[in-house]
Amino acid sequence: MLRARPSHRLASAAAVVAATGAALLAGSSPAAAATCSDVDVVFARGTGETPGLGVVGGPFVRSLTGELSDRTVTSHAVDYAASSSQASAGPGATAMSAHVREVAAACPSTRFVLGGYSQGATVTDIALGIRTGTTTGTPVPAELAGRVAAVVVFGNPLGLSGRTIATASSTYGPKSKDYCNSSDSVCGSAPKTGTGGHLSYASNGSTTDGARFAAGLVRAAGTPTTPTPTPTPTPVPTTCVRDSTRDHVAADRAVSLYGRAYARGSRDSLGATSSYNVVSLQQVEGGWRLVTAC
C-alpha cells in the first residue's frame, strides 16, 4: 500500500502540470546546432507537458545561458513520451544518454549539463545509473561521466524513497543539486530548498539558483582535454660492419684481452684476436654487439 502513494501523487501532479502547461510553458531553446558548443544542456520535461524543454527547463536554460554569456550554450529537449504512467522514464533515460554519446563523439570539447523536472528528473536519475524501481533505461557510459559538468533536477520523485542524486550516486552526487519545494509532495522527504509546490520552481528562484550552481561547475571543469597521441619514434640509423676479427680490433670496434677479441661495449666474444674469421658487428648505444649478419 505504501508504494501506491507515489503513483497517486505523481498522477495528481501530472494532471495539474498538463492543465496549466499552456499558460506556463516557456519557449524552448533551439536544438544543438551543427557546430559544437562549449556547453550542451540536456533537459527532460515533466509528465504531460508539451514536447520541448517545458515549464521549468525553458527558464533554467535561459538563466544558464545568461550565466555563461562568454561561452556558447546549446540545449536539447529529451524526446520521450512523458506519459502519466511514469513508464516512459526508462525510454527517456535511454534517449538522454544516446544524445550525450552522439554529441560527445562529435564534439570532444563540449561539456554537458543534465537536468529534468518531475518525471524528467526520474529520466535523469536513470540516465545516471540510479535504480528507481519503476522502469529501466540505458545510462550514460561510465567513460563519459567526466564530460558531465553538472546535474540539476526539480521535483525529483526519487525523494519519495528518501534519496537525492547526491546520496544515490557517488559519481554524479558531488556535482548534482536536487530542488524540492516545501509543499511539493512529489519529491517526498527530500531536503526542502524553496517555498511553494510542484509548479513553483520557475517562479521562486529555483531555476535561477540552479543555473548559477551549474555555471560554477562548468567553469570549474574547464575544457575537456583531448589525449595527445603518442608520437611514433623515429628509427635510429644503425651501422653494421662485416669484417675479420683482427680488423674489428684494429678499427676499435672490438678490444683484445689475453689473445681473445670482444665487441666493444657488449663484450660479445669474437674469438681469437688474430683470427681472419669474418663476423658482423652492429653499432648500438655505448658500443657494438655481435649479430648473425648485416
- Is residue 178 annotated as a catalytic residue, yes or no? no
Q: Which domains does the chain have, with CATH numbers?
A: 4-221 (3.40.50.1820), 240-291 (no CATH)
**Is the pTM above the cut of 0.75?**
no
- Is residue 185 annotated as a catalytic residue, yes or no? no
Write out the three cell numbers for 262: 670482444
| Residue 6 confidence (pLDDT) | 44
| Residue 166 confidence (pLDDT) | 97
- 232: number of Cβ within 10 Å: 6
| Residue 228 confidence (pLDDT) | 57
Residues of the chain with pLDDT under 50: 1-9, 11-12, 14-33
Question: Which among 40, 125, 178, 184 is annotated as catalytic?
Answer: 184
- Is residue 198 annotated as a catalytic residue, yes or no? yes
Instruction: Answer for the pair 152, 214: CB distance below 8 angstroms, yes or no.
Output: yes
Instruction: Answer for the pair 119, 160: CB distance below 8 angstroms, yes or no.
Output: no
> Any alpha helices (H) in 161-225, and if so which ranges?
165-168, 206-221
| Residue 174 confidence (pLDDT) | 97
Phi, psi dihedral angles at 194 (to 5 degrees): -165, 175
d(CA 162, CA 164): 7
Question: Which among 76, 99, 198, 248 is annotated as catalytic?
Answer: 198
Instruction: Answer for the pair 224, 108: CB distance below 8 angstroms, yes or no.
Output: yes
| Residue 234 confidence (pLDDT) | 61
d(CA 254, CA 124): 72
Closest residue by Cα to residue 236 from 286, 201, 275? 286
